[in-house]
Amino acid sequence: MNVPETSYLYAIEAEITKLNSEKSHIVIKAKKESRELTTEEKELVDKIDSRMKTIKLIKADLTVKNTTKDYTRTREQEEDTLLKMAKQRKEDIDEYTSKNRLDLVEIEKAELDIINEFAPQLPSDDEIKEFTENALTEYQAAQGEDYVLSMRDMGKLKPIVLAKYPKADGNLIKSILEKRIKG
């Protein structure tokens, strides 16, 4: 989705306006023709309502701290909020999958897809893993040929990866480092 450089809220509000317009168009068309909504139209309105619900959740999370006139949320804070929302949905999907609640998994996946349309694009887990592995190899080589990695090295390596990917999942980086260090 094309998000303006100034604020994610502008893109969210534009999407809400667009969805309201689409829904109104469907309903007004049926009224002009003096008929009930068709099954297809009802399904389309339900999809619009479902999307609208998630978009409004995003807007609420982005504006929750904006309770005073003087407060202005930065783009970085908005990005962090969107990434936290996406991370929460991923955790919920894992939880519901483990409990075999596939009905809830589908709802969370749909919400995650919509949130990801607005959230900044992060590097893939594979990209982070590759960079982390390379950083580990370079670090170990710089320490000397016989140097054996220990858990103490994690404190030096994790900041290197986070400098390249500041919004990367710290738990992912930690697990990659632990796996390689522990052998």
7 has pLDDT over 90: no
149-166 burial string, b = 16+ CB within 10 Å, else e? beeebbeebbeebeeebe
Span 86-94, average pLDDT? 94
Least confident of 36-50, 94-108, 134-148: 134-148
Categorize the per-residue pLDDT at 51 as very low, low, confident or very high, splitting at 50, 70 and 90: very high
Percent of the residues in the chain that have a pLDDT greater than 90, as a whole number: 46
Query: What is the model's pTM?
Result: 0.71
**HSE value, Cβ hemisphere, 13 Å, CA-based, for 75:** 9
What is the structure's pLDDT at 65?
A: 62
